[in-house]
């Protein structure tokens, strides 16, 4: 099925550990995004990539790095996880004006 | 980026029409108004988008007055499965555009 695929779906980390969240889309979209959603809150933009080879900071970039590996893949890295980064992370791609964003199913990350 | 204001929560009953209004006083000329729906434990899903007047699709209608400082999402004859959070976003929704989500409106549909 066409869409946005995120891995892993669940992850528990200890404080200070590092990990990379993977995201891939097969819709040939140029733009990709990473959001986080804390309980009872809306989504906050972490980083985005308007096109292959470019990345820009969003609202809450501190503690994260991203890599736009190619047109399909956009990864999010936590170098030294902190409990404040416990959240659900959503990746999205943008199909343009008439289609909006397509979101993945999310990665639920817990940092203990 | 234009800031949006919408009610935090709304209650309705099955079969009723639900109207959720969003205020966006600082909307720019190039901005579109887009609404997303999010079910628990899922990513948001695009519902509808418009620039001015009225847009209708198989899911909802979007009403935008001439001054574009507000918009209303209309859900006809809601069912229990419409219980979700609804987000109003304003921005340039082309590829490369950056959309900022607000708090959203939590709609609860009761039997």
Chain B residues near residue A56 by CB distance under 8 angstroms: 98
Mean pLDDT over the full length of chain B = 91
Inform me whether the pLDDT recorded for A97 exceeds 80.
no
Mutate to test the interface with A, among B34, B44, B48, B89 (most CBs of A within 10 A): B44
What are the structure tokens assigned to A3, written together?
A: 């869409």
Chain A residues near residue B49 by CB distance under 8 angstroms: 97-98, 100
Mean pLDDT over the full length of chain A = 92
Nearest to A112 by CA among A86, A76, A74: A86
Cα pseudo-dihedral A58, A60, A66, A68, rounded to 10 = -20
Q: What is the pLDDT of residues A42-79, one digit of tens each?
A: 899 999 998 888 999 999 999 999 999 899 999 999 99
Nearest to A93 by CA among B87, B96, B19, B104: B96
What are the structure tokens assigned to B45, written together?
A: 């899903």
Name every residue in A having a CB less than 8 A away from some CB of B: 4, 29-31, 33, 35, 41-45, 48, 50-51, 56, 58-59, 90, 92, 94-106
Q: What is the separation, in whole angstroms, between the first and last Cα of chain A?
A: 34
Chain A residues near residue B87 by CB distance under 8 angstroms: 42-43
Inter-chain contact B101–A30, Cβ cutoff 8 Å? no
């Amino acid at each position: 099925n066409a869409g946005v695929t995120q891995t892993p779906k669940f992850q528990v980390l200890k404080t200070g550990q590092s990990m990379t969240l993977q995201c891939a889309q097969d819709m040939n979209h140029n733009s990709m995004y990473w959001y986080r959603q804390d309980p009872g809150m809306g989504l906050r933009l972490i980083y985005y990539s308007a096109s292959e080879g470019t990345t820009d900071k969003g609202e809450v970039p501190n503690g994260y790095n991203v890599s736009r590996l190619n047109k399909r893949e956009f990864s999010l890295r936590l170098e030294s996880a902190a409990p404040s980064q416990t959240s659900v992370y959503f990746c999205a791609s943008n199909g343009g004006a008439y289609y909006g964003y397509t979101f993945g199913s999310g990665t639920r990350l817990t940092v203990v | 980026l234009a800031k949006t204001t919408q009610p935090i929560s709304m209650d309705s009953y099955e079969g009723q029409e639900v109207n959720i209004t969003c205020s966006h006083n600082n909307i720019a000329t190039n901005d579109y108004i887009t609404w997303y729906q999010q079910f628990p434990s899922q990513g948001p899903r695009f519902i509808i988008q418009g620039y001015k007047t009225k847009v209708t699709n198989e899911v909802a209608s979007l009403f935008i007055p001439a001054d574009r400082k507000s918009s209303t999402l209309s859900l006809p004859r809601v069912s229990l499965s419409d219980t979700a959070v609804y987000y109003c976003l304003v921005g340039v929704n082309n590829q490369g555009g950056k959309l900022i989500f607000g708090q959203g409106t939590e709609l609860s549909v009761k039997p």
